[in-house]
Amino acid sequence: MKRCVAILLLFLVFCSTALAQDTVRPVRFSGGMMIHTGYLSGDMNEAGYHAEGMPFGLGGVLRFHFFNHLRVGGEGYVSKLSMQHNGSYVRLGWGGLLVDGYWQLGRWKPYVGFTVGGGSLSSLLIRDGDAGDWQPEKDAVLHNAAVMLIDPFIGCEFALTRAMHLTLKADYIIPLNSQECPKGVRFYLGFIFAR
């Protein structure tokens, strides 16, 4: 938690410095869709279960550009971590307010920022049985919970054209109110349309 606070303070100092130095220019926006994967793991203590593996998901982002280095907007994604081969899964649907800083280096645009928000964590654990058949399961657990989180990220965009960019991003979700949410690094790839 101390690291999160330190990262937030450094980012706010960066933003205030950028705002003090840059001149105001018209607001622009960018947005697009991304797919992601990575590696997540975590203990679901209440169920006595350890979740780990590669999640897959889809989502999008919309950002408004202010000054020369600041973007504010929102993003939302769904990550599904399938476990074993019996139909068990953990699914996190989340979104929130995004703030990031970026630098324009020719056609490259590296960026760093964070998202603060929340979502829903759904877990289906099938201990005995198979979700591939049509038989009732004798030992299965379904659990839904609300999750508040902070999501620091780093990434880079490459301008294919003036209006279309390719983006690559990595993040690490930090749940603020749930020990059951799997944690780990995820990698995103997608297209961003800028105007």
Give pLDDT, residue 2: 60
> What pLDDT digit, counting tens, does each position of 60-79 carry?
999 999 888 999 999 999 99
Which region holds residue 184: left if phi is over 0, alpha if psi is between -120 and 50, else beta?
left
The answer to whether 103 and 110 have CB atoms below 8 angstroms apart is yes
Q: Which value, to the nearest 10 degrees, does the dihedral of the CA atoms of residues 102, 105, 106, 107 take?
A: -50
On the question of pLDDT at 12 being above 80, the answer is no
Q: How far apart are CA 27 and CA 32, in angstroms?
A: 17
Instruction: Tell me the sheet residues that pair with 38.
Output: 186
Give me the CATH code for the 2-194 domain, please: 2.40.160.20
Q: Which of 4, 1, 49 is nearest to 180 (CA)?
A: 49
Give pLDDT, residue 155: 97
6 to 82, 83, 130, 183, 188: CA distances (angstroms): 34, 35, 46, 20, 25
> What pLDDT digit, counting tens, does each position of 29-53 carry?
999 999 999 999 888 877 777 888 9
111 to 67, 75, 101, 168: CA distances (angstroms): 15, 15, 6, 10
Give residue 152's pLDDT band: very low, low, confident or very high (50, 70, 90): very high
The answer to whether 193 and 30 have CB atoms below 8 angstroms apart is yes
Most confident segment among 6-15, 76-85, 107-116, 117-126: 107-116
On the question of pLDDT at 55 being above 90, the answer is yes
Instruction: Tell me the sheet residues that pair with 39.
Output: 185
pTM, 2 dp: 0.81
Enumerate the domain spans of the chain.
Answer: 2-194
